[in-house]
Structure 1
Amino acid sequence: MFRIKASIFFSVFAAMLGLMLIAPIMPPLIRELGLSESHSGWIISLGSVTMAVMAPVWGRLSDTRGRKAVILTGFVGMGISCLLFALALYAGLHDWISGGPLVALLIATRGMIGLFIPAVLSSAQAYMGDVTEGRERTAGMAVISAANGMGLVFGPAIAGVFAGIGLLWPLYFGTALSFAAFAVALLFIPPAKPVARERPAKVNPFRPGLRVYLLAGFATMTGVIGIQVVGGFYFQDMLHLTGQGTARMVSVGLMLSGFAMLAVQAVQMKGPKLQPKTMMLAGALFVVLGLLVFLYSDSQAFYYFAFILFGVGAGLSMPGFMSAASLAVSKEQQGGVAGLVASVQGIAAIVTPIVATTLYQSHMSLPFWFIIALTAAVAPVLLSVRGKAAVESN
């Protein structure tokens, strides 16, 4: 069991790390290419469409083809896509291509990365669902959430180190990492027979007992992405920081948030197992508290404290909605529901950057109030959920 969980942890960590390597280098690359900030937003948002669309497809495919085969396919696709994205940027930096054709090429190659990442994420989560039962599944999903947190912590840091060599070097590292992760998965993930001989029925995301957990996941991911998108603007405007000072503060804040997530999940893996609904409700409370500290403070120290509160909330909410969704379906549908969870993350990555920046242009506090309202709206719906023995009593 340890071998399986460790392999799944590394697979999710490598996939998230590869995704997080891109974000820190996009702003300077966009300006080097002579493109505008809006181009960066479209490249990231449209590139996330394939993640939202393909996640359920990969999840269902893993039910019939096997988890390991889909994970291996995902890493090969990630490596090739990351290299193509780097080559497209290289062509733009050397004036081999520019303007609209360059933007279209960047959207296409970024979309390829989004196409293959959910193959790893959805299959890894489904594999964890295969090998855990009841309350143990909550601890298993905490392993996956911890891998997400480590990707959040180390992705920007590693990108910063390699960017010191050259702006494209983080992408070269991401390419090498994908193929290294393929080798690790090939050698260490135990082969498992498909859980369904025939393609199982699609998991309806609107079915009772599942939709509320996917909504909670969307609210959580909206908060995580929203802080990354508008946090830098907010702190710079509130504290009158320089560009370098803002980047340093956001980097430290996200690292504190990531470490808080890891600490919470370490407790959840080793300590008493909380019920998924309890975790989601407690997580929502900490997220709202963190955002209120953001809104009613004007001190850098309090902003760092808010990042910690937010990390605790995300660290409770993420494994909570993952395990609740997993427990809401049969073993034959683990791939399908894992794909829906990854799809929810992709949808949040599409919608949040556009909504958050639009609201911020109206008033700097509006993105935070939007996330608070969305998070608070989910809480009474969760409280109203009754029954669903698979989630509450196992």
Structure 2
Amino acid sequence: MNKVRGSVFFSVFVAMLGLMLLAPITPSLIRELGLREIHSGILISTGSIMMAIMAPVWGNISDAKGRKPVILIGFIGMAISMLLLTITFYGGLHHWLSGGLLLFLMIAARSLVSLFIPAILSSSQAYMGDVTEGKERGRGMAIISAANGLGLVLGPAVAGVFTFIGLLWPLYFGIAMAVIALAVTLLLMPATKPASQKEAAKVSLFQPGLRFYLFAALVTMIGLVTIQVVGGFYLQDQLGLPSDQLAGTVSFGLMFTGVAMLISQVVQSKWLKWEPRPMILLGSLILVASMFIFLLTTYLPFYYLAFFVFGLGSGLMMTGFMAGASLSGSNEQQGGVAGLVAAMQGISAIIAPILSTTLYQMNRYSPMVMIAVMTALLGTVMLARSRKRPSPGEIGR
């Protein structure tokens, strides 16, 4: 079981790392290539849309064909598509490509990256659902969410370090990690039989039990993306930070978030072993508290505290919605369920940047208020559901 969990953790971590390596270097590459800011937005949005569309598709394929083959396809596609993207950027930087052809190839290669990465995320979560049951599933999903959180935070940090060598070095690193993860998956991850020898069981977006956890996933991921997008602007405006200090300050804050997410998930998997509902309820309370710290303080150490508390809440909520969604589906639906959960990540990446920056232009405090209100609403719904006496078949849902 340790070998299984280790290989699944590494798969999810590498997939998220590869996705997040692209975010911090895209604006710089766009400027170096002589393109406009809107082209950066098109690249990011296209990738997010592709991820939201393909995550459920790959999840259903893994139900029908098995988890390991789909994960392997995902890493092969991730390595090849990142290589194509690197070649395209390289050609543009050396003036071999330009204009509309360069932009078209960039969009096509970036779309391919987001086409294959959901294969890894959806199938890995479904794999963990296959090998765990009941309360053990909460521990399993804590491993998945820990890998997610680690990739979310380390991706931009690693990219920042490699850019000191060159703008394309984060992509070289991402390709190498995809190849390593392909080998690890091939050698260490045991193969599992398809969930269904027939057509995979269909999963409905509005399936009772599941829809609540998808809502929890959307709220949690919108919060995470919002902090990543406007956190830097907020700290700079609140503290009057010079631009040359901003990147390091924000990276340090996000590091606190990542560490806290890991701590909360280790505590859940090793000691608490709670069911999904109390995890989400406690996580929502902690996350709201972090927003109050963001809103009320004007000192950098307390902002770091806010980032840390935010990570604790987000980590519990992420583990809760993954475990709850998995428990709400049958064994034959694990791939489809995992695909919908991964799709929420893509949808949040579409919604949150536009919504949070629009709100920030209106009032710098409004994105944090939005997160607090959405999370408080989620916690209220969670509390109301917890007071209803569940039937035996609804436990964990």
Normalised by the shorter chain, which TM-score bucket?
A: over 0.9
Equivalent residues of 1:324, 1:391 under 8 A apart: no
**What amino acid maps onto 1:36 in structure 2?**
R
1:301-351 deviation line (CA, Å, top 9, x unaligned): 111000001000111000100000000111110011000000111111111
Q: Please list every run of at least 4 consecutive aligned residues from structure 1 whose deviation after the TM superposition is greater than 6 angstroms.
A: none
Aligned equivalents of 2:161, 2:119: Cα separation in 1 = 28
> Aligned pair 1:32/2:29, yes or no?
no
Matched ranges for 1:1-394 at <5 A: 1-385=1-385, 386=388, 387=390, 389-390=392-393, 392=395
Asked if the contact 1:56–1:336 (Cα under 8 Å) also holds between the matched residues in 2, the reply is: yes
User: Deviations for 1:167-220, whole angstroms, at most 9, x for unmatched residues?
Assistant: 001001111111111011000000111110112232101122111110011000
Q: Which amino acid aligns with 2:131?
A: V
- Aligned to 1:111, the other structure's residue is in SS state helix
Cα offset for 1:37?
Answer: 3.1
2: distance between equivalents of 1:312 and 1:37?
34
Kindly provide the CA deviation profile for residues 37-82 of structure 1, in whole angstroms up to 9, marking residues without a partner as x: 3332221122111110010110010011110000000000000111
Change (3 A) 1:232 1:38: farther
Amino acid at match of 1:154: L
| Range with greater deviation from structure 2 (126-135 or 230-239) | 230-239
The Cα of 1:359 is off from its aligned counterpart by: 1.5
Amino acid at match of 1:392: I
User: How much does 1:152 deviate?
Assistant: 2.4
CA contact (8 A) 2:256 2:304 kept: yes
Q: Which amino acid aligns with 1:354?
A: I
1:32 maps to amino acid: E
Contact 2:14 2:151 in 1 (8 A): yes
For 1:117 and 1:393, how far apart are their aligned partners in 2?
29
List gaps (5 residues or longer) in structure 2: none
1:84 Cα deviation from its structure 2 partner: 1.2
Q: Give the Cα separation in 2 of the matches to 1:32 and 1:92.
A: 9
The Cα shift of 1:374 comes to 1.6
Describe the SS at the equivalent of 1:21. Answer: helix
How many matched pairs?
394
Distance 1:183 1:209, change over 3 A: same
1:43–1:103 contact (8 Å) kept in structure 2:
no
One-letter amino acid matched to 1:60: N
Cα distance in 2 for partners of 1:329, 1:158 equals 36
Q: Any idea what SS the aligned residue of 2:272 has?
A: coil
- 2:197 alignment partner AA: R
Q: For residue 179 of structure 2, what is the amino acid of its counterpart? A: F
Could you tell me how far 1:393 is from its partner in structure 2?
A: 5.8
SS class of match (2:190):
coil
Deviation of the 1:126 alpha carbon: 0.4
Identity %: 57
TM-score by length of 2: 0.96
Name the aligned partner's letter for residue 269 of structure 2: M
Q: Quick check: 302-311 or 354-363, which moved more?
A: 354-363
- Tell whether the 8 Å contact from 1:60 to 1:199 is kept in structure 2 after alignment: no
Contact preservation (8 Å) 1:55, 1:339: yes
150-159 vs 174-183, which moves further? 150-159
The separation in 1 between residues aligned to 2:285 and 2:100, in whole angstroms, is 44
One-letter identity of the residue aligned with 2:82: C
CA distance in 2, matches of 1:144, 1:63: 18
Q: Is the deviation greater in 73-82 or in 270-279? A: 270-279
Shift of residue 390, structure 1, vs aligned partner: 4.9
Contact 2:9 2:144 in 1 (8 A): yes
Q: Is the 8 A contact 2:55 2:119 kept in 1?
A: yes
CA distance in 2, matches of 1:391, 1:300: 45
Query: Could you tell me how far apart the structure 2 residues matched to 1:373 and 1:142 are?
Result: 25
Distance 1:135 1:390 in 2: 14
Comparing 208-217 with 236-245, greater Cα deviation is found at 236-245
Q: Which amino acid aligns with 2:105?
A: L
Backbone CA RMSD of aligned residues: 1.5
